[in-house]
Amino acid sequence: MDIPRIFNITESAHRIHNPFTPEKFAVLGAALRLKTGTKILDLGCGSGEMLCTWARDYGITGTGVDMSSVFSKQAELRAEELGVAGKVKFIHGDAAGYVSDEKVGVAACVGATWIAGGVAGTAKLLERSLRKGGIILIGEPYWRQIPPTEEVAKGCLAHSISDFLILPKLVASFANLGYDVVEMVLADQDGWDRYEAAKWLTMRRWLEENPNDELAKDVRAQLTSEPERYASYTREYLGWGVFAIMPR
């Protein structure tokens, strides 16, 4: 079981697989006023940076689930590196439908809401693992500016303009689903650069080492087109944030 190999290649050097920076995760952890011993579930946890750094900085314990074999391995190594291997556990597997045995104080899905068919389904899934008074975290894109045409939306790698909302509408959508929005931390364009531009050097180095790989042509094509596509579209039009919500 794994995600498409192209992501394991292009994001192999990433610790954070979204436009958040280490500073943003620290701000979010502080904003949530995490207490030592808080249990956290993180679906689509990537390389485990949120859980590992929050275990180190805020004394939380946690479980992460991710379908990437590469990222799951990196999460375990990161936990050892930060001295929190006894506090966080990483499961390599499908997070769709995953509910924790023990209820948690924070249930998160930071940039992988497709695991339950979108924001609404993911919030419902996470709620099944949440203790009373707990907080759900959803990481999700939104339009910084509405794309003027469907072509521009496609340039952002969306299927259509309707894939995402503008920020006020996204925030309102949580209320419409029956949640209070209790905090939010938004990424910025520098954070987008860290996520997207970091792939380019990784791709360049991978190509030098794997010229005959079956994906070499695809990676070469992406490296050639991505900087201009990203600078033209994603960087200008797409925002991203983590929203903390609580059932009403």
Angle at 238 between CA 159 and CA 23, to 5 degrees: 135
Least separation in angstroms between residue 192's CB and ligand SAH is: 14
- Site for ligand SAH contains 18 (CB under 6 A): yes
Among 28, 39, 53, 66, binds ligand SAH (CB under 6 A): 66
Q: Contact between 67 and ligand SAH (CB under 6 A)? A: yes
Binding test (CB under 6 A) with ligand SAH, winner from 44, 105, 191, 241:
44
Binding residue for ligand SAH (CB under 6 A) from 51, 104, 110, 135? 110
Q: Do 24 and 50 contact (CB within 8 A), yes or no?
A: no
Q: 23: burial class by Cβ within 10 Å (0-12, 13-18, 19+)?
A: exposed
- Using CB positions, name the residue nearest to ligand SAH: 46
* In contact, 67 and 43? CB cutoff 8 Å: no
Task: Name the DSSP class of 84.
Answer: -
CB of 66 to ligand SAH, least distance (A): 4
Q: Which is nearer to ligand SAH, 112 or 245 (CB)?
A: 112
Comparing CA positions, the residue from 6, 27, 25 lying closest to residue 15 is: 25
Query: Hey, what amino acid is at 127?
Result: E
**Cβ-proximal residues to 161 (8 Å cutoff; 6+ apart), any chain:** 143, 146, 147, 150, 153
List 45, 88, 170, 203, residue binding ligand SAH (CB under 6 A): 45
Instruction: Kindly list the residues in this chain that would bind ligand SAH in the complex (CB under 6 A).
Output: 3, 16-18, 44-46, 49-50, 65-68, 71, 94-96, 110-112, 115
